Amino acid sequence: MTEPQNAVELLQALIRIPSVNPEGDPGTDGTGEARIAAWLADFLRGLGAQVELREVLPGRPNVVARFPSDRTGKPRLLLAPHTDTVSVLGMTIPPFAAELRDGKIWGRGASDTKGPMTAMLWALREMRDRLPTLGHEIWFAGLASEEAGQHGSKALAREERFDFVIAAEPTDLQVVHTHKGSAFLQLRTSGKAGHASRPELGENAIAKMLRVLDFIGGELAREFAAIHDPVLGSPTISIGTIRGGSKTNIIPDACEASVDLRFVPAQFTPDFAEKLAARLRAVCPDLALDLSPAPPLLTDPSHPLIARLGECGAQPVGAPWFCDACFFAERGMPAVALGPGSIAQAHTRDEFIAVADLEKGVEFFSDFLSRL
């Protein structure tokens, strides 16, 4: 590979390796993380790290790198960007050209999250001679599948223990120590088809679904609105899709709907999913549903490394979205999200990161590492 000479060239190289998550319609044949994982493995070995490619899904590995340390027993710090991006469908710029224009680098992943990844990597490059002597053992992981399923972070959180995790996300270099949890609630009702002139002889699946959605948009939404987190505000509910029926004069025998739930830490109990499912089935006993929530994040803002990040200028904040950090925190590892760039540019049709923001990110992570 051609060795990048600066952070801009490194980010351009990463954007030019398509790594679109294959879920849904990716808009390209360049899916999966295998190519970018191999590239990152070579780059990290060049910095002196011991590197493994750990397959999470077929052909979709995590890149796990451990930097040398001058003694054993140090606390472990993990820098953890994700290597996949969202679909390029509908983009108004060439998604993989990595064009440098108007003081910005354009392309899919420039903001989310190859830009923050680059800031971490270039800081590690600048600090590579000092890394073994730091007070923490430094790890880096390029995580697969964050944009759908979060399989990479879940796998690594099962495999390793870390004392602190920084998931790379575009947070304007603020420390996201808490974020909402998320659940995509998939609902399905079944009925019995028949002629619409005799509705009493059939069973209308849409009517059944409307009763469920009325409960969600009514009683449940009011409960959510009454809850207030001092940082995150109230949890939210958004009914996203509904599909049912085949023709106006046929009683619909199937209906599907999806609902986006965003909940705060106080709501998330071990039986959260079971209790919600029971309440929904009280409205419609034969309701089929799928609910696999991603947990909220709440890391104590007084943690010593959050204080250290604060010395570099990063303040603790909350976020309405969720990321890989929560799956490490779920297993007892303090975790935050942090990186240069704005979340407002993530997933956009003309995604970019400003060069000035990227360079600030490199400076930030270099400063942070030097304080460990």
Residue 216 lies in a domain: yes
Residue 1 has pLDDT above 80, yes or no: no
- 216 and 77 within one domain: no
Residue 285 lies in a domain: yes
Structure tokens at 314: 């990063």
Separation CA 245–CA 255 (nearest Å): 7
What is the structure's pLDDT at 2? Answer: 81
Task: Give the residue from 41, 178, 213 showing the smallest Cα distance to 121.
Answer: 41
Give Cα separations from 187 to 216, 240, 248, 287 (angstroms): 11, 11, 22, 7
SS3 132: helix
Report percent pLDDT > 70 for the chain: 100
- 254 and 282 within one domain: yes
The answer for 107, left when phi > 0, alpha when psi is -120 to 50, beta otherwise, is left
- 132 and 22 within one domain: yes
**What pLDDT, in 10s, does the model give residues 139-186?**
999 999 999 999 999 999 999 999 999 999 999 999 999 999 999 999
- 37 and 128 within one domain: yes
- 253 and 170 within one domain: no
On the 0-12 / 13-18 / 19+ scale of CB atoms within 10 A, 29 is: exposed
Separation CA 59–CA 179 (nearest Å): 31
Find out whether 318 and 159 touch, Cβ atoms under 8 Å: no
SS3 299: coil
Q: How crowded is the C-beta side of 274, counted as CA atoms within 13 Å?
A: 3
- 278 and 254 within one domain: yes
How many CB atoms neighbour CB 316 within 10 A? 20
Residue 107 lies in a domain: yes
What is the structure's pLDDT at 342? Answer: 96
Residue 145 lies in a domain: yes
Count: domains in the chain: 2
Among 271, 290, 309, the domain-final residue is 290
Q: What mean pLDDT do residues 192-199 have?
A: 93
How many CB atoms neighbour CB 161 within 10 A? 11
What is the structure's pLDDT at 115? Answer: 98
The CATH number of the domain holding residue 200 is 3.30.70.360
Q: Domain containing 317: what range?
A: 7-179+296-370
- 231 and 87 within one domain: no
Interstrand relation of 76-80 and 164-168 (parallel, antiparallel or unpaired): parallel
pLDDT band at 310 (very low <50, low <70, confident <90, very high): very high
What is the structure's pLDDT at 133? Answer: 97
Among 290, 307, 342, the domain-final residue is 290
Q: What mean pLDDT do residues 336-361 have?
A: 97
Residue 343 has pLDDT above 90, yes or no: yes
* Identity of the amino acid at 69: S
What is the structure's pLDDT at 110? Answer: 98
Residue 155 lies in a domain: yes
Residues whose CB is less than 8 angstroms from the CB of residue 302 and which lie 6 or more positions away in sequence, other chains included = none
Among 224, 259, 290, the domain-final residue is 290
- 336 and 197 within one domain: no
- 218 and 114 within one domain: no
Give Cα separations from 278 to 118, 273, 287 (angstroms): 45, 9, 10
pLDDT band at 262 (very low <50, low <70, confident <90, very high): very high
On the 0-12 / 13-18 / 19+ scale of CB atoms within 10 A, 88 is: buried
Instruction: Report which DSSP code applies to 253.
Output: -
- 340 and 221 within one domain: no
What is the structure's pLDDT at 349? Answer: 97
Residue 2 lies in a domain: no
* Identity of the amino acid at 263: F
The CATH number of the domain holding residue 364 is 3.40.630.10
Query: Which residue reads 């996201």 in tokens?
Result: 176
What is the structure's pLDDT at 292? Answer: 85
Interstrand relation of 297-298 and 288-290 (parallel, antiparallel or unpaired): unpaired
On the 0-12 / 13-18 / 19+ scale of CB atoms within 10 A, 19 is: buried
Separation CA 77–CA 137 (nearest Å): 6
- 235 and 149 within one domain: no
Instruction: Report which DSSP code applies to 371.
Output: T
Find out whether 267 and 225 touch, Cβ atoms under 8 Å: no
Residue 130 lies in a domain: yes
- 23 and 145 within one domain: yes
Residue 274 lies in a domain: yes
pTM recorded for the entire structure? 0.93
